[in-house]
């Protein structure tokens, strides 16, 4: 889908049309800002989850003598390669929002070249393969041509092409985020892995805390730290899951509205407004729960 979008971009200069109206500009900006924020949070959280799992497993090694070096992989299942794929997907979502913001910006070309270049740079990773040389060369030429000649009607045409072409990709990204932030028992997502790891540490620390044998102050301090770390992680996962999944669901709904708005200048609903509100609530919560 990204490749299809890029090929569409190559024909933007051949398309004529009018600029976006007020309703389209407002909706595109609102959606772009919320999507950029959601991408940023997701990108950071996947790193946090991986680092959190490593820290929890390290603490488990400290308090549980039954754990050996060959029986516990510190970052399982959030391996570096799997995390990198999620980072790439989140970054593409963030850059998509950034590009939409620039296309709807009254300043016309401010940072538009930068936004397009960043999207190009992240595409190979997001697609998990190198772009064809002819596509990269054509896109590079297009980026160079973005400048004072990038008039309002061409920006409007670009926005329409991109929003229509990216609809399916945004829906897929939203589904992937929803799954990764799910705490359902059958989920194989990252947040569930984080919770499962924390539960193991909590059980091990509770077992030691409930033993009748007396521990030294130093030993007890390690156990209490382990219990606190585990309990905090479990509660954090529950809080994040709710807001993240709500935001992912709203992303799909808002994306559908944006497609309708860009194709029908008079179309309007509250889906994008609700999406922006939901993401802002997620941003506020995330700041409170930051590790």
Whole-angstrom CA distances from 178 to 32, 42, 106, 169, 189 are: 19, 11, 33, 14, 9
Q: Which one-letter DSSP state was computed for residue 132?
A: P
Per-residue pLDDT of the chain (291 residues; tens, 9 = 90+): 444 444 444 333 333 345 789 899 999 999 999 999 999 999 999 999 999 999 999 999 999 888 877 778 999 999 999 999 999 889 989 988 988 888 887 654 555 556 666 666 665 565 555 545 644 554 454 455 555 444 567 777 777 877 887 888 889 889 999 999 999 999 999 999 999 999 999 999 999 888 766 667 777 888 999 999 999 999 999 999 999 999 999 999 999 999 999 999 889 899 999 999 999 999 999 999 875
3-state DSSP call for residue 269?
coil
* CA separation for the pair 158, 107 (Å, rounded): 16
Which pLDDT belongs to residue 158?
A: 74
**What is the domain range of residue 262?**
2-289
CB 157 within 8 A of CB 215: no
Structure tokens given for 220: 């007890």
* Phi then psi dihedrals of residue 67, to 5 deg: -85, 130
Q: Would you call 81 exposed, middle or buried from its count of C-beta atoms within 10 A (0-12, 13-18, 19+)?
A: exposed
Sign for the pseudo-dihedral over CA of 42, 46, 51, 57: positive
* Phi then psi dihedrals of residue 283, to 5 deg: -60, -45
Which pLDDT belongs to residue 12?
A: 39
Which pLDDT belongs to residue 16?
A: 38
Structure tokens given for 62: 């400290």
Which pLDDT belongs to residue 103?
A: 80
* CA separation for the pair 24, 261 (Å, rounded): 6
CB 159 within 8 A of CB 20: yes
Half-sphere exposure of 205 (CA within 13 A, CB side): 25
**Domains identified in the chain, total number:** 1
* CA separation for the pair 192, 184 (Å, rounded): 7
Q: Which one-letter DSSP state was computed for residue 140?
A: H
In 3D space, the residue among 250, 255, 257, 258 whose CA is nearest the CA of residue 279 turns out to be: 250
CB 227 within 8 A of CB 206: yes
Which pLDDT belongs to residue 17?
A: 45
């Amino acid at each position: 889908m990204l490749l299809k979008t890029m090929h569409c971009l190559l024909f933007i200069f051949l398309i004529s049309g009018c600029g976006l109206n007020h309703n389209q500009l407002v909706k595109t900006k609102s959606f772009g800002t919320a999507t950029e924020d959601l991408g940023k949070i997701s990108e950071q959280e996947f790193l946090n989850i991986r680092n959190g799992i490593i820290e929890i497993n390290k603490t488990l090694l400290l308090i549980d003598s039954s754990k050996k070096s060959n029986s516990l992989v510190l970052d399982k299942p959030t391996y570096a390669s799997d995390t990198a794929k999620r980072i790439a997907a989140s970054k593409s979502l963030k850059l998509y929002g950034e590009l939409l913001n620039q296309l709807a910006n009254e300043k016309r070309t401010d940072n538009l070249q930068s936004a397009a270049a960043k999207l190009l740079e992240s595409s190979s990773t997001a697609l998990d393969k190198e772009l064809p040389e002819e596509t990269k060369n054509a896109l590079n030429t297009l980026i160079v041509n973005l400048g004072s000649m990038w008039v309002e009607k061409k920006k409007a045409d670009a926005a329409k092409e991109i929003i229509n072409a990216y609809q399916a990709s945004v829906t897929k990204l939203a589904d992937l985020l929803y799954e990764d932030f799910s705490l359902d028992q059958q989920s194989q997502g990252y947040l569930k892995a984080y919770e499962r790891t924390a539960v193991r540490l909590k059980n091990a620390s509770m077992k030691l805390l409930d033993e009748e044998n007396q521990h030294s102050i130093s030993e007890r301090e390690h156990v209490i730290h382990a219990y606190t770390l585990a309990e905090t992680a479990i509660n954090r996962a529950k809080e994040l899951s709710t807001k993240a999944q709500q935001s992912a669901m709203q992303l799909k709904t808002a994306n559908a509205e944006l497609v309708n708005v860009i194709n029908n200048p008079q179309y309007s609903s509250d889906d994008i407004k609700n999406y922006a509100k939901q993401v802002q609530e997620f941003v506020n919560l995330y700041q409170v729960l930051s590790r």
